[in-house]
């Protein structure tokens, strides 16, 4: 009986498979076999025995390990015993010199490597599309809002480019994280490697070579948990960025704004209100982001342990690690779905731009008056008074300004028209959009280069 929605509702099959019990067992068995191969490399084991154990490992099942755990009360020991018994005489050195978290931490590093690659691949696909939207809507003028109020005109492409930049930074963080997270831990009971004697460094180096991961420079019985905490924190940052975009769509999808909307298709908005189109994809992203951020505290709490380790990290990580990566996987997939179905209402953007009857251009008029010789604070007072007239009398800012002698004595009608035109007050929007996209392309190339090196 399934209890967790991650079993059926959230996350892709690819990510679910990576964190399935079957795949974790398979990966841990791979680490055990790699350790035996390293023992054989230093002359501590016959390669033919390794081959026998490797063959036996393919027959180890979860059911057998679970049954053995009932007797041993220890999951990794249960796996090692089942493997050793299946291998017969050849299995006498299974788990030799190792402690449980040599196997567990190294196995998770291998799984993290695949999980992060999957995430990066999906994010790159979404960012390619988001970059194309930034270029497509480069000239689409809309209201820029601060505090939920009309601030200055921007373009939809400029808005999109901000997300291109922010999400590119998360891609950078995930790539940089790998240098600290993706390492093997093969150091024995307290991290000194004493169980392998003089061969330890050679064994550790061989396991590292065969698995394609570097080693931790030093560790206790477990790999330093700052790496795990960094992973969860970075995923939470990424999730919060995705939520910021989703929140934007939710706000702009309000009927009274109506500038953006999710793809409606044949989706039911409400079980009782047939007229509704709800931003359900965006709301799902926002909801899951709350859960993901909740994983940060236990991840940080796992960094301090007693002495060379205790068991407090183990239980929380069984939930935290798989759930965090499944949740962000669902969020990234949902983000891509949201992007590709996004509806843009340019007509409403134009209508909304005129809601303040030119008031959105107050800064432009204030700075024009300043350039004409008025002290800035005086220009601010004049335009502030004019915008109050606009609100109270229902006239446009142009009409209010053209009646004000303090304005007309300094600027011409043509200058006033130019200053109050939104298309003339977009700053270096094109250059900024292009700069954000260039930044993303550099990050993308760096990631491709790193993957090629591996």
User: How does strand 149-155 pair with strand 260-261?
Assistant: unpaired
Among residues 264, 258, 259, the alpha carbon closest in space to that of 159 is found at 259
Non-local (6+) Cβ contacts of 259 within 8 A are: 142, 252, 344, 345, 348, 349, 352
Non-local (6+) Cβ contacts of 34 within 8 A are: 207, 210, 211
108: tokens are 């998770």
Q: How many CA atoms lie within 13 A of 279 on its CB side?
A: 25
What is the rounded distance in angstroms from the CA atom of residue 173 to the CA atom of residue 183? 17
113: tokens are 């490597």
Catalytic site residue 380?
A: no
22: tokens are 């079957």
At 42 the three-state DSSP class reads coil
Among residues 85, 78, 87, 174, the alpha carbon closest in space to that of 122 is found at 174
CA-to-CA dists, residue 387 to 61, 115, 142, 423, angstroms: 74, 54, 20, 20
Phi-psi region of 259 (alpha: psi -120 to 50; beta: other; left: phi over 0): alpha
Q: Please, where are the H alpha helices in 253-361?
A: 280-294, 296-301, 312-340, 346-353
Question: 195 with 145: CB under 8 angstroms?
Answer: no
Backbone angles phi, psi at 152, to 5 degrees: -145, 160
What crossing angle do the helices spanning 47-57 and 21-41 adopt, rounded to 10°?
180
Q: Which of 147, 271, 307, 409 is flagged as catalytic?
A: 147
Catalytic site residue 147?
A: yes
Question: 222 with 185: CB under 8 angstroms?
Answer: yes
Q: Which of 270, 315, 377, 384 is flagged as catalytic?
A: 270
Q: Which H helix or E strand runs over 155?
A: strand 149-155
Q: Enumerate the active-site residues.
A: 147, 270
């Amino acid at each position: 009986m399934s209890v967790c929605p991650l079993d059926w509702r959230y996350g892709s099959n690819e990510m679910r498979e990576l964190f399935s019990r079957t795949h974790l067992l398979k990966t841990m068995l791979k680490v055990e076999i790699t350790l035996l191969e390293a023992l054989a490399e230093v002359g501590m084991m016959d390669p033919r025995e390794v081959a026998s154990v490797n063959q036996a490992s393919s027959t180890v099942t979860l059911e057998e390990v679970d049954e053995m755990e009932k007797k041993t009360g220890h999951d990794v020991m249960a796996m090692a015993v089942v493997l050793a018994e299946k291998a017969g005489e050849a299995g006498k050195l299974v788990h030799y010199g190792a402690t449980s978290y040599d196997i567990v931490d190294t196995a998770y590093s291998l799984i993290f490597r695949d999980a992060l690659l999957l995430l990066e691949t999906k994010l790159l696909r979404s960012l390619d599309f988001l970059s194309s939207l930034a270029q497509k809507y480069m000239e689409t003028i809309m209201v820029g809002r601060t505090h939920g109020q009309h601030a200055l005109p921007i373009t939809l492409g400029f808005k999109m480019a901000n997300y291109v930049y922010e999400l590119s930074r998360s891609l950078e963080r995930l790539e940089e994280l790998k240098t600290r997270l993706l390492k093997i831990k093969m150091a024995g009971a307290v991290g000194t490697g004493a169980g392998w004697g003089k061969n330890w460094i050679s064994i550790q180096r061989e396991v590292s070579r065969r698995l394609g991961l570097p080693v931790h420079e030093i560790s206790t019985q477990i790999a330093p948990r700052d790496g795990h905490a960094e992973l969860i924190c970075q995923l939470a940052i990424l999730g919060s960025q995705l939520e910021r975009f989703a929140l934007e769509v939710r706000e702009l999808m309000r009927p009274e704004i109506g500038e953006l909307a999710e793809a409606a298709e044949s989706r039911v908005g409400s079980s009782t209100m047939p007229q509704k189109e709800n931003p359900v994809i965006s709301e799902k992203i926002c909801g899951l982001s709350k859960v993901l951020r909740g994983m940060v505290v236990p991840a940080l709490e796992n960094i301090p342990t007693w002495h060379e380790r205790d068991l407090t990290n183990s239980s929380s990580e069984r939930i935290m690690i798989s759930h965090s990566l499944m949740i962000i996987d669902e969020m990234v997939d949902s983000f891509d779905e949201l992007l590709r179905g996004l509806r843009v209402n340019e007509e409403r953007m134009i209508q909304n731009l005129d809601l303040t009857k030119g008031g959105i251009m107050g800064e432009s008029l204030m700075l024009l008056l300043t350039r004409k010789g008025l002290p800035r604070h005086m220009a601010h007072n004049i335009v502030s008074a004019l915008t109050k007239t606009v609100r109270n009398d229902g006239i446009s800012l142009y009409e209010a300004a053209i009646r004000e002698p303090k304005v007309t004595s300094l600027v011409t009608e043509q200058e006033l028209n130019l200053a109050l035109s939104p298309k003339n007050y977009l700053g270096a929007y094109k250059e900024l959009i292009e700069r954000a996209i260039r930044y993303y392309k550099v990050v993308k190339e760096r990631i491709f280069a790193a993957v090629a090196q591996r």
